[in-house]
Amino acid sequence: MSRAFRVTVKETVRRVIHAEDHVRTQLEMLEVLPCDQMMELLSKELVSLGFERDGTALSRTDGNARVVIRLEDGTVVVESASREDLEIEGKRSVRVFEESGKSEEQVRDLLSKQIQADVNEETQEKQSELQTELTDQLESQLADLRLELDQACNRATAAALKQKAAQLGQIKEMTEDSQSGSLTIVVEL
Amino acid sequence: MQAVNRFEFDLLSILQSVLGRVPVEQVLPKWKQPQAKPRGLHQQTVRLIEQMLAKGIVGRIARDDGWCRRRFLRDGEPVDGSLWQRTSPDQLGLTFSPQSIDLLLWLTSSSGSEGIPAWKPNPFVSKQDVTDGDRLIQYWIAKAAAETSLLTKWYRHEPFISNELISIALPDRFAEVDSTPALDFERWILNETSWLLEVLQNDFERWLVRAWNVKNRLIDADRVLAMSRIEDGVLQHYLRAADACMRPDLCRFVLMAARHVLHESLSVRDWLQSVNLNHLKAADRMEFYRAAATLPRAVNQMAQWHRNSATVHFLDDDYQASQLLKSIWESMDGDRLNQQAERMLAELEF
């Protein structure tokens, strides 16, 4: 008659998972005035939106996302990163018959390896979930950011047009429609 | 009453379905059933094929779109009327090379669904001998096959793979078998059989609408991306060719399709919401959306043509073409469509 015994292994594993994502785009502006003047006008608009200037770069942090705008070439980079501390508990148990010839230590090793595999799988799943969540969040922020940046560019262009018109002659009339974004300037040369 | 053998009877039945005289479903068992290919056909059968082609093609073209009153360019001037009014019937003739008979023999003898033997071109028919009539038959065969969701493997084979009509009307099929479609649209537009592109406008429109709706239902992002890239390549080549040949009227189908699918307040993300993008990072998602927006991009391109047409003067060569484009644009409410297209494209700017 063979005797059976049950071996149970329980392990708690701590892991840190990271997710990051970024997108890059280019701001497009009409060169109404020389490049450095256009940069200054845009910079002014961006600072009013909460960006901080550091040399020719401006940056702002929105939640997980950090927006960096390089004025010299109009590049916009939005980076987002997130991390999560995981505590995963794994438990495995098996009934072993004495006649199988396996010692308790061997069985424990085997179960421990299985738990490691389970933990790795779960970590992978959590990692994917975190990445998807981060990307979804970043994607939803982009629509608002695009609108904000477009408006800043439009305002900077309008300011540049006013300056240019003033250089050309005397401004007689100026009509601005904030809804359609149209600007009409009548200049007497 | 003429007697034909079993094989010839099946071949003639398949031809009848290709010409739209009997439903494809009715002859499907004959397509699926492999048969030994005979060394040749009896002379009376060849005569019957000739008669069927002569009458059947006219009938099918008339039924498809030939009867409709349309406006297209002829030698740079807009001409109104049905196909027969726009082009004199003696210029509407199509010729056929022995390749069409070979193709029918191959179809009748091959099993349609699996393990079809490769198409072996007739050594006595060079590529240059293949006519637009042959290509039209190939196109109708491919279309009938596509409608029954069978025979996707055909697209790996010559002559289907080198037929531009199939490329533009069924581009998604090429994505399914990872093939590259033929893109020499300029040859078609400049050819005297360019009237075929006019009568197939409804087919092309249906393809665009179908492609749009398919993407709306699919889940696999890689599949949608592969489809979109092929569609975009085909459509962009076609538009460039039409523009270069001053035939914007041959792109009417783009606006016809857009009228069906570009609705106010529809966003790209809503349209593609069933596609699983969870595994893609933000930049790849943007790339995916951009690739999928084939139709808005095409409409936007036509809007650019429309804007350019305002600068064409009475004495310019393309004055009539641009006037016709203006009238098509207005009749299809092009400004509204372009507004929707621009809104969708703006979403993808980041």
pLDDT at B252 over 60: yes
Interatomic CA distance for residues B34 and B31, integer angstroms? 7
Interatomic CA distance for residues A25 and A134, integer angstroms? 19
Task: Say if the Cβ atoms of B282 and A22 lie within 8 Å.
Answer: yes
Mean predicted confidence (pLDDT) in B27-45: 82
Q: Of the ranges A36-40, B55-59, B127-131, which one carries the lowest mean pLDDT score? A: B127-131
pLDDT at B153 over 70: no
**Confidence (pLDDT) at B228:** 92
Over residues B167-223, the pLDDT tens digits come to 888 887 777 766 778 888 999 999 889 999 999 999 999 989 998 998 888 899 998
pTM of the model: 0.83
Mean predicted confidence (pLDDT) in A163-186: 83
**Band (B150; pLDDT cuts 50, 70, 90):** low
Which of B150-164, B166-180, B239-253 ranks highest by mean pLDDT? B239-253
* Residues of chain A with C-beta less than 8 angstroms from the C-beta of B285: 135, 139
**Confidence (pLDDT) at B152:** 62
**Confidence (pLDDT) at B28:** 77
The residues facing A88 across adjacent strands are A13
Task: Say if the Cβ atoms of A22 and B279 lie within 8 Å.
Answer: no
Query: Quick check: B43 contacting A, CB < 8 Å?
Result: no
pLDDT at B114 over 60: no
Over residues A90-118, the pLDDT tens digits come to 899 988 887 777 788 888 999 999 999 99
SS (HEC) of B25-57: HHHHHHHHCCCCCCCCCCHHHHHHHHHHHHHHH
Cis peptide before B171 (omega within 30 of 0): no
Task: Say if the Cβ atoms of B282 and A131 lie within 8 Å.
Answer: no
Query: Quick check: B286 contacting A, CB < 8 Å?
Result: yes
pLDDT at B110 over 80: no
Over residues A37-96, the pLDDT tens digits come to 999 999 999 999 999 999 889 999 988 899 999 998 889 999 999 999 999 998 999 888
pLDDT at B292 over 70: yes
Task: Say if the Cβ atoms of A21 and B281 lie within 8 Å.
Answer: yes
* B240 alpha-carbon distance from chain centroid: 16
Nearest-neighbour CA in chain A from B300: distance (Å):
19
Query: Quick check: A143 contacting B, CB < 8 Å?
Result: yes
- Provide the 3-class DSSP secondary structure of residue A117: helix
Over residues A125-158, the pLDDT tens digits come to 999 999 999 999 998 888 889 889 988 999 999 9
Query: Quick check: A22 contacting B, CB < 8 Å?
Result: yes
Burial class (CB in 10 A: 0-12, 13-18, 19+), B52: middle
Mean predicted confidence (pLDDT) in B49-73: 93
DSSP letter at A1 equals -
Mean predicted confidence (pLDDT) in A20-48: 91
Chain A residues 42-101 within an 8 A CB cutoff of chain B: 78, 80
- Percentage of chain B surpassing pLDDT 90? 54
**Confidence (pLDDT) at B280:** 92
**Residue B284: closest CA among chain A residues belongs to which residue?**
A23
Nearest-neighbour CA in chain B from A184: distance (Å):
22
User: What letter represents residue B76's amino acid?
Assistant: G
Please state the ipTM of this predicted complex.
0.75
Query: Quick check: A135 contacting B, CB < 8 Å?
Result: yes
**Cα Rg of chain B, angstroms:** 22
Q: What integer best gives the mean pLDDT of chain A?
A: 89
Mean predicted confidence (pLDDT) in B93-97: 92
Q: What integer best gives the mean pLDDT of chain B?
A: 88
Task: Say if the Cβ atoms of A135 and B347 lie within 8 Å.
Answer: no
**Confidence (pLDDT) at B19:** 92
**Confidence (pLDDT) at B161:** 82
Burial class (CB in 10 A: 0-12, 13-18, 19+), B270: exposed
**Confidence (pLDDT) at B204:** 94
Which of B27-31, B131-135, B173-177 ranks highest by mean pLDDT? B131-135
Mean predicted confidence (pLDDT) in B34-61: 90
Residue pair B224/B275 in contact (Cβ under 8 Å)? The answer is yes
For residue B188, count other CB atoms closer than 10 A to its CB: 21
**Residue A146: closest CA among chain B residues belongs to which residue?**
B350
* Residues of chain B with C-beta less than 8 angstroms from the C-beta of A145: 350
Query: Quick check: B39 contacting A, CB < 8 Å?
Result: no
Task: Say if the Cβ atoms of B283 and A128 lie within 8 Å.
Answer: no
Instruction: Tell me which residue in A21, A128, A146 faces B282 most closely, judged by beta carbons.
Output: A21
**Confidence (pLDDT) at B216:** 86
Query: Quick check: B349 contacting A, CB < 8 Å?
Result: yes
**Confidence (pLDDT) at B172:** 77
* B158 alpha-carbon distance from chain centroid: 17
